[in-house]
Amino acid sequence: MTRSILLVDPDRAHRAHLARGLDANVARVAGEATDPDEAMRLAAMTRPDVAIVATYFQNGEDFHLVGRLATEHGIPSILLSHAGDRTVMTRATQSGVMGLLVRPVDPATLLAVTELAVCRFQETLALRREAEALRRMLESRKTIERAKGLLMEMEGIAEQEAFARLRQKSMDTQRPMAEIARAVILAAEVSGRAR
């Protein structure tokens, strides 16, 4: 699979060196940006697989850009740094960077780190989606339990009957049980019977 790469570096010579190091069968340059604003515009237009971001922008713009590319466009980033820059390494581990390259960059390393960054980012997104699904499921269960308790109290019925009513209403209306449970809770709140 050919990967598309956004190069973000104010130094034209460095961008050209990176572009020359890409094997056209494995990766291609989707765009070249000299600053974070241009990078965001190009990211929206070209939708690259990964961005390589130089670390010498002012006031932490490089790390801010990495976060924006990930959250706004779903694009992982690799930082391009100078050798021995411990500050960059520390900040990189805290900012969600998917890879780090140290100048000078050889083509084999560039391609390997690019592929690893894309794979790790996809794994991270999958884990976040799974965590969100679990959070929603837990929230739904809590809502159903509360509605079940309210039905038991208001109707004087057993837990199994309360659950059966929620389930039946869900099937009759073809709506999720959690939605039916929220309606029961709202009705109880409006009538002043919710605890």
**149-191 pLDDT, tens digit each:** 999 998 899 999 999 999 999 999 999 999 999 999 998 888 8
The listed CATH number (1.10.10.10, 1.10.3210.10, 3.10.129.10, 3.30.565.60) that belongs to domain 132-190 = 1.10.10.10
pTM of the model: 0.68
Listed by start position, the domains of the chain span 3-105, 132-190
pLDDT given at position 98: 86
Count CB atoms within 10 A of the CB of residue 94.
8
The arithmetic mean of pLDDT across residues 42-56, rounded, is 91
- What is the model's pLDDT at position 84? 62
Query: Measured in whole angstroms, how far is the alpha carbon of residue 10 from the centre of its chain?
Result: 27
Give the tens place of pLDDT for each residue, 96-139: 788 888 777 777 788 788 888 888 888 988 898 999 999 999 99
Min mean pLDDT across 18-27, 64-73, 140-149, 180-189 is at 18-27
**Superfamily classification of domain 3-105:** Response regulator (3.40.50.2300)
Which pLDDT score, from 0 to 100, does residue 83 have? 66
